[in-house]
Structure formats: C-alpha cells, structure tokens
Amino acid sequence: MSYNRFPFIYQNKNHTCNDCKDEEKGKILKRLMVTPTFLKDINNTHLKMVWHNASLDLREAKRIFFVGYSLPLSDYEFRYMLLRALSSSKNKKKQKIMVILFPPDGLSPNGKPYGDSLLWEREKTMERYENLLNGYNLEFRCMDARDFMKDIEIIW
C-alpha cells in the first residue's frame, strides 16, 4: 500500500492549535484514533466535544449516509450515540438513512462474481443496520464508494 494515497493520515508535519486560549495557542496537537473496539477511551475533552457535535448534527440531519461502515457490535459507543441522537430528532419522520455497502450488485471489474464471503458479510452488515434502526427510514445501496461519490443524484 502506498502511503502517498492517504497524505491526510500519514503526514509527519506537526499541527498547532489556533483556537485554544492565548496561553495554549501554538501548542502542538497529537493524533488520536478512535477504533471500533470494546476497549477505547473517549474521555478526552476534545473527543467529547467531537462526539457531542456529531450527536447534534445527527439530530438535525435530514439525510444520513454511511459509506462502507459495517456497524460492528463492538462499536457500542457510536451505536448508543446514534440511537440517542435519532430518537431525540425533530425530523424523525423525515430523516432518510442511506447505507452504501460493498460489494456492488453484479459482477466484479474482472467480470467474475464476487465471492460468497463478501456477499455474506454484506448481508450480516445489513442485518445489523436493520436490527439497530428498525422503524427508521433506512435504505441500502450496494455499490462501490467511488461510484456513490460520483452519483450526485443519490447524494442530493
């Protein structure tokens, strides 16, 4: 894998905070990755703010897209935050949740069918979404994420 494809993740540059109080301006920021596992610490002040803002945005959203996210059972903090945000939404009846999953329907680019394991995992992912978001306006599209991003009609 070429790391040049993901420069926003693997940059070695130091970034400084421009929004902190005067005494902390210029402080070098540290990277933080939150993985979908049972063992994670989300008690970081900045991370709490990110999760709070995400919850507010989900509450107000008319359309929510999940692209390539398998909604693992181990990511219970996110699942809880999502349900809490959706259940307290004023747009509950109008919200549309679209899940973009791989593999696409049909044949792979090399003309062969996708493997059973990929199709099985896609079905299990659909079940997790259906079980969690039962009663919400949920739609699945089985397609490549690049094709989804090119299709402006789906997004808007």
CA separation for the pair 155, 67 (Å, rounded): 11
Of the candidate ranges 88-97, 113-122, 136-145, the one whose mean pLDDT is the lowest: 88-97
Q: Which backbone phi and psi does 137 adopt, to 5 degrees?
A: -75, 85
Query: Taking residues 145-151, what's their average pLDDT?
Result: 85
- Binned at pLDDT 50, 70 and 90, residue 6 comes out as very low
User: CA-to-CA distance for 107 and 115, rounded, in angstroms?
Assistant: 10
Contact (CB, 8 A) for 119 and 103? yes
Cβ neighbors of 133 (< 8 A, separation 6 or more) are 86, 97
Q: What is the pTM of this model?
A: 0.75
Nearest-angstrom CA–CA distance, 67 and 19: 30
Alpha-carbon distance 76 to 34, whole Å?
12
**What is the mean predicted confidence (pLDDT) over 86-96?**
82
Q: Phi-psi bin for 89: left (phi > 0), alpha (psi -120 to 50), beta?
A: beta
